[in-house]
Amino acid sequence: MQLHSVPTQPFNDQKPGTSGLRKKVRVFQQPHYLQNFVQSIFDTLEIPPNATLTVGGDGRYFNREAIQIIIKMAAANGFSKVMVGQHGILSTPAASHIIRKYHTFGGIILSASHNPAGPEEDFGIKYNTANGGPAPEKITEAIFARSKQIDRYSLADLPDVDLSRLGKTVLEGFEVEVMDAVADYADLMQTMFDFPAIKHWLANGHRMVFDAMHAVTGPYAQEIFVRRLGAPADSLMHCEVSETFGGGHPDPNLTYADALVNVAYGAQAPDLAAASDGDGDRNMILGQHFFVTPSDSLALIAAHAKRIPAYAQGLAGVARSMPTSGAVDRVATALGIPCYETPTGWKFFGNLMDAGKVTLCGEESFGTGSDHVREKDGLWAVLCWLNLLAATGESVESLVRSHWQQYGRNVYSRHDYEAVPTAQAQAVIAHLQAQFDRLPGQTIGRYTIATVDDFSYTDPVDGSVSRGQGLRILFRCGSRIVVRLSGTGTEGATIRVYLEAYTEDPALQQMDAQDALAELIAVAHQLTQLPTLTGRQQPTVIT
C-alpha cells in the first residue's frame, strides 16, 4: 500500500485530561488536529508485529469520519489489523471488554462521554492500553510531550471501510474487522448475572424503564433488556443512537435525565428506572419516587454482592474516588476487606484491579464498575440492581433504607458550577488555599475544622504519586467539604463542591439531602466565597 508522510506543525492544546482529549468538534476538524494527536499516540507506543487495534466510539457527530482517518493511520503505523464496532458504535465498557477478550494491543475510543454532541458541540478521543483501561498518566504525559514536537504524521492510501457491514475486509494485507460488539458484551453480562431470575421478576408484574438518552447504550439495551430478558419494548426510552444525542445532554442525573425522572416520580412509576450516558460508562438508579446516590449504589452493591453470581465467592476489596462518600468504607469494614481511596479518574482503579486488590469500585460522578472490564460500566450497574431486586423481592427504596438502618447514612450531595470562566474558578481555589494555615481549629456554626489538605495519592501497586487532586476540609464530627475543578468539560471550568455528613439518626436519615446539608452548604459558601468570586448564586446541577 502507498504510505504518505504528511508535514504538520504542533498544536499547543493537546494535553489529555482524566478522560482523554476533549474539545469542540470544530477544533478537531481543523486540518491536521486529529491526525497530530493520533500520531502522537502511535509515536509513544512500541507497536509489535501483527498488532491489532480496537477502535470505536459513542456515535456522536464526527465519529465515523474520525474512525476512517484512524484506520488509515493505524495501517501506516505498523498495525496489521483494526477491530471496529458496527457503524463505529462501541460503548466504552464494551471497548474495554473487546480489548481484553481478543487481546488487542490497545484501543482508541472516540467519545466526550456525557457532554453534548453535534457540529457545535463536543468531541473526544482517548487511548486505552492492553488491560482495557485508560492510559496511565505516564503514557498520557508522553503523548502530550510528543504532540508538542510532532512535525509529520503517516497515512495509508486506502479506501474508506463500510462500517455498516459485518465482516472482515483485507486491504493490501491490512485487515479491518467490523464486529458485532453488542453481542459480545451481552454474552459477557449473561455470564455474570442471574438472567433467569431477572426474567422471572420482569414476567411477574415488575416493571423497569431504561433511558439511553439517544446515546451508545441504545442497541445494547435492546439486546439485553428486551431480547434476552423479555422486558416489553416500551421499557426503553430514547434508544435510537443520534449523532446529536437527540439534541440533549446525555448526562444521567436528575437535571439532564428529566424525562426519566418524570417517569420515576409519576403516577405509574416503574419498580426500577435507570439511565446511562453518552458512551455507556455512567448510570443513574431510581426507584418509585426515590433517587439512589451513586455513593449509596456502590455501597449497597458491595453489601449484597454475594447475591450476584459473578461475586458469589466474595470481594477481594473495594475502591472509591476521594470525593465519593465513605458509605462503601463502612461496608468494607463489616466485610473485613480493604477499601482504597483514589483520585478522581478510572485509570487509578486499573492498577488495583490488575493486582487483584479490588473487585468493585466507583465514583460519585455516576460511575460504578468491577474487574470484569477496566472501565466503569453503566449497564452492568443496572443489571446489578435488577439482580438484587429479583433476589431480595424488595423495592429500591426499601433496600436503601434498610442499608441506612444497618450502616448509617452518609448524607451526600455534589454541587456543580459549570462553564465558569477559568480565571474565576482558579480564584476560588486560590482563596481557599490561602486560608489553609489558619483554618484548622476554627468553628463555624456547629462545625469545627479538624484538618485541611490538597489530596495526594500514592499508588500501592507501582508507588507512583499523584498530587493536587482536590481540596479537602475535614471536620471533627466526620463531615467534610471537598472542592475541585473538573477536567471533563470543554469550555471554562466546572467547579465541583462535594458535601458529606454521616448520621445514624433515623430522623435525619429520612430528610432530603439538601435540607440535611443546608448548614454545611452555607459553610462551604463562606469558606470558598464562590458566589462572590464567580457571581453564581446557584449550582448548574445538584446531585
Q: Map out the domains of the chain as residue ranges.
A: 3-179, 184-407, 409-542
Alpha carbons within 13 A on the beta-carbon side of 423: 0
Sign of CA dihedral 95, 96, 97, 103: positive
Q: What pTM does this model have?
A: 0.92
Place of cell 449497564: 379
pLDDT at site 354: 94
Residue 147 annotated among the catalytic residues of the structure: no
Percent of the chain topping pLDDT 90: 90
| Confidence bin at 160 (pLDDT 50/70/90) | very high
Instruction: Please tell me the predicted confidence (pLDDT) of residue 490.
Output: 57
- pLDDT single digits (tens) 476-532: 998 999 999 985 555 688 999 999 998 888 888 888 889 999 999 999 999 999 999
Show contacts of 169-176: CB within 8 Å, 24+ apart.
Answer: 171/1, 171/75, 172/1, 173/1, 173/80, 174/1, 174/75, 174/79, 174/80, 174/81, 175/80, 175/81, 175/82, 176/71, 176/81, 176/82, 176/84
Rounded to an integer, what distance in angstroms lies between the CA atom of residue 75 and that of residue 154? Answer: 9
Q: For the segment 305-326, what is each residue's pLDDT rounded down to a tens digit?
A: 999 999 999 999 999 999 999 9
Sheet of 21-24, strand order: 21-24, 122-128, 106-110, 52-57, 81-89, 174-179, 167-171
| Burial class of 366 by CB neighbour count within 10 A (0 to 12, 13 to 18, 19+) | buried
CA distance 308 to 138: 36
Catalytic residue among 40, 113, 370, 479: 113
Q: How far is residue 348's CA from residue 378's CA, in Å, rounded to a whole number?
A: 18
Average pLDDT over residues 272-288: 97
Pairing of strands 167-171, 81-89: unpaired
Indicate whether 221 pLDDT > 80. Answer: yes
User: Which among 112, 49, 94, 40 is positioned nearest to 70, based on CA atoms?
Assistant: 40
For the segment 389-395, the average pLDDT, to the nearest whole number, is: 97
Angle in degrees, CA 125, 180, 239, rounded to 5: 75
- CA dist 334 and 312 (Å) reads 17
For the stretch 402-447, pLDDT in tens is 999 999 999 999 999 998 999 999 999 999 999 999 999 999 999 9
User: For residues 24 and 115, is the Cβ–Cβ distance under 8 A?
Assistant: no
Q: Give ∠ CA 240-246-252 in degrees, rounded to 5.
A: 85
Domain 3-179 carries which CATH code? 3.40.120.10
Residue 345: predicted pLDDT: 83
Residues 505 and 400: beta-carbon distance below 8 Å:
no
The reported pLDDT for the residue numbered 488 is: 56
What average pLDDT is seen over the chain?
Answer: 95
- Predicted local confidence at residue 186, as pLDDT: 98
Q: What are phi and psi of 330, to 5 degrees?
A: -70, -35
Q: How many CB atoms lie within 10 A of CB 529?
A: 14
For position 346, what pLDDT does the model report? Answer: 86
- Copy the grid coordinates of residue 529: 466565597
Q: Does 3-179 match 184-407 in CATH topology?
A: yes
Rounded Cα distance, 187 and 207, in Å: 23
User: Which residue has 448564586 as its cell numbers?
Assistant: 537
Superfamily grouping for domain 184-407:
Alpha-D-Glucose-1,6-Bisphosphate, subunit A, domain 3 (3.40.120.10)
pLDDT of residue 171: 87
Closest CA to 127 of 60, 43, 188: 43
Mean pLDDT of 373-397: 97
What confidence category does residue 65 fall into, taking pLDDT thresholds of 50, 70 and 90?
very high
* Residue 302 reports pLDDT greater than 90: yes
Band (347; pLDDT cuts 50, 70, 90): confident
In the chain, the N- to C-terminal Cα span, in Å, equals 53
Which set of grid coordinates corresponds to residue 434?
Answer: 490561602
282 DSSP assignment: -
Specify the CATH number of the domain 409-542.
Answer: 3.30.310.50
Q: Which residues are within 8 A (CB) of 252 and not within 5 positions of it... i.e. 6 or more apart?
A: 114, 211, 213, 260, 275, 276, 277, 282, 283, 284, 366, 378
Quote the CA–CA distance of 356 and 165 in Å, as a whole number. 39
- CA dihedral of residues 250, 252, 258, 263 (deg, nearest 10): 120
And the C-alpha cell for 32? 491536521
Question: Which is more confidently placed, 507 or 267?
Answer: 267
What pLDDT does 508 receive?
Answer: 81
CA distances from residue 174 to 51, 57, 75, 208, 375 in whole angstroms, order as listed:
11, 21, 7, 45, 29
Q: What is the pLDDT of residues 230-254, one digit of tens each?
A: 999 999 999 999 999 999 999 999 9
- Cell 491536521 sits on residue: 32
- Give the pLDDT band of residue 93 (cuts 50, 70, 90): very high
* Residue length of the chain: 543
